[in-house]
Structure 1
Amino acid sequence: MNQIENNFLSVGILSKGAELCSIKNLKTNKEYIWQANPEIWSSHAPNLFPIIGALKNGEFFFENKPFQLPKHGIIRNNDNIKLKEKNPDSLIFNLKYSEETLKSYPFKFNFEIKFQLIEKTLTVSNKITNLDDKAIYFSLGGHPAFNAPLYEGETYEDYYLEFDRKLDLNTWLLNDKGLISSETRPVLRDDNKIQLNKNLFDKDALIFKNIESKKVALKSRKSGTVLTVEYNDFKDLGVWAKPGAPYVCIEPWLGYADVEGTTQDIKTKEGIMELMPSKTFDASYTITIA
């Protein structure tokens, strides 16, 4: 584990996948990140690139050729990501394309992720550079899982998510193959609070396309605000946990899983990003501890 800390927090990042694995309050010793119990869900906060969620039949097509990618892409659990730079308040990790990555993702790219800690805010900055002579296509996202409840005497049902404005929100339902169906169901109507409960994720993640709010807080009715996530550079948001598990994932996304009616052509994949040769794309989100 690679670590940075200040007077308020310590932050841990695993070398494998450059995965955030700890945000600990140094005064209270409280851990905010889910500790990856393998009997429930064995991740902390995987980085999602160049896809989010599942592909139809586990593959996409580029120029009529099939390519297989695992759920959430090639950064998660990747041992080839290298620590590029370490400073007192930041860590920068890097993965450049290789002959191995080209087998499953036929684009030349550089992926860089920076974790910077200033006071009680951790900024997670992604930078994608197109090293190819053609446009590259990708999605990008975060998947941090936060402990809930955090304090003794609290239950999961004491916790809720509060957006910075009232919203009308529908979630897009997933089918049994993890693809987004054409069916939606309402989550909020002129409201800003999603109450956590053990059945909230019985039908998998809540998927909010083009969400207007770019700031959401995890709060407890007993202990108040726990943390806030801001994601101005991300147009979509996922919220998820294993049903009944004591955490909640707040996931800033650019893109999402394949829709049921996909052609599987990555160029026309719904929610996909296009980046021209020699260009760089940046997107950041922040986690602020209360």
Structure 2
Amino acid sequence: MYTLQNNKLKIAVKKIGAELCEVSSTKHNTQFMWDANPEVWGSYAPNLFPIIGALKDDSYTFEGASYTLPKHGFVRHNQDIKLHKQTENSLTFKLSYNDALLEMYPFKFEFYISYTLIDNTIEILHTIKNCDTKTMYFSVGGHPAFKCPVYNNENYNDYSLEFEHVENAKRHLIEMETGLISNKTETVFNNSNILDLNHELFDRDALVFKDLTSRKVSLKSKNHGTILTVSYQDFNYLGIWAKPTGNYVCIEPWLGIADSVNTNQKLIEKEGIIALQTDKTFKAAYQIEIENTHLI
């Protein structure tokens, strides 16, 4: 476990998966992250690379060969990630290709994830380097789970998500049996920017958005106002998810998406896939800002 602290926030990151596992007030220890109760969902904030969500049959093809990858890729739960650099206000972790990873993902890469603590904000920066002689293809994203409700005198239905802009957006429905994106959509926003939270909202898995204009979303309490804001300027897909029995909500910035039911399983044609040329570096960051009123 690695920690950072300033006069407002304390954060902790697990070595396994380089997973953010605590965001709390330095002054009074109010917790903002889900506690990863294994009886509900035993994760805090998995890092997603080199895919987002599920592949059809857990597999894809590249240059005529077939490969297998687990849901969300191989960074989460990975024990080979190393602390690469630590400063007074940042932690950077690194995962490099190895023989085992090349069997499931045929690209030589370096994956870095950095957590930087700036006042009341945590920035999460993903850096991917292509160390190969060919173009590499990947997706990358976050899966942070925030405690909901935060305070003892509240319940889940007291909370909502407020988006930056008024939206007219549909969710892309997930096929429950496979985890793949179906051909069906359902309107969520009709000239609105508020999504009221309730456990039944997630009876059909995540809310997956492809066409939001907002690049910020705030978790708000009826009783305590804005709790936190996630800003995701570098990401063009967003997932909102929780287990229906879980007292948390995941706000998930994605560059990429799960396979669709009619995918041809070719990696280079996968929706949302990023192509990175030889010797090039890709960066994408999102920020979690805790409202100052909950830190004083």
User: Which category describes the TM-score, using the shorter chain as reference length?
Assistant: over 0.9
Matches within 5 A, 1:39-50: 39-50=39-50
User: 2:34, 2:248 within 8 Å by CA — same for their partners in 1?
Assistant: yes
1:210 is displaced (CA, Å) by 3.5
- Who is 2:203 aligned against? 202
Q: Which moved more, 1:206-215 or 1:15-24?
A: 206-215
Matches within 5 A, 1:272-287: 272-287=273-288
Q: TM-score, normalised by structure 1?
A: 0.99
1:178 is displaced (CA, Å) by 0.3
Matches within 5 A, 1:224-243: 224-243=225-244
Matches within 5 A, 1:22-171: 22-171=22-171
Q: What amino acid is aligned across from residue 92 of structure 1 in structure 2?
A: T
Task: Tell me how far apart the structure 2 counterparts of residues 119 and 269 of structure 1 sit (CA, whole Å).
Answer: 38
1:153 is displaced (CA, Å) by 1.3
Task: Tell me how far apart the structure 1 counterparts of residues 230 and 28 of structure 2 sit (CA, whole Å).
Answer: 21
1:100 is displaced (CA, Å) by 1.0
RMSD value, Cα: 0.6
Task: Tell me how far apart the structure 2 counterparts of residues 246 and 269 of structure 1 sit (CA, whole Å).
Answer: 33
Secondary structure at the counterpart of residue 100 of structure 1: helix
1:244 is displaced (CA, Å) by 2.6
Q: What amino acid is aligned across from residue 191 of structure 1 in structure 2?
A: S
Task: Tell me how far apart the structure 2 counterparts of residues 185 and 91 of structure 1 sit (CA, whole Å).
Answer: 40
Q: What amino acid is aligned across from residue 138 of structure 1 in structure 2?
A: F
1:88 is displaced (CA, Å) by 1.1
- Who is 2:294 aligned against? none
Task: Tell me how far apart the structure 1 counterparts of residues 26 and 159 of structure 2 sit (CA, whole Å).
Answer: 23
Task: Tell me how far apart the structure 2 counterparts of residues 116 and 168 of structure 1 sit (CA, whole Å).
Answer: 34
Task: Tell me how far apart the structure 2 counterparts of residues 252 and 268 of structure 1 sit (CA, whole Å).
Answer: 21
Unaligned runs of 5+ residues in structure 2 are 292-296
Q: What amino acid is aligned across from residue 3 of structure 2 in structure 1?
A: Q
CA deviation profile, 1:202-260 (whole Å, cap 9, x unmatched) = 00000001321000000000111100000000011000000131000000000110001
- Who is 1:211 aligned against? 212
- Percentage of matched positions with identical amino acids: 49
Unaligned runs of 5+ residues in structure 1 are none
Q: What amino acid is aligned across from residue 53 of structure 1 in structure 2?
A: G
Runs of 4 or more, structure 1, over 4 Å off, are none
1:64 is displaced (CA, Å) by 1.4
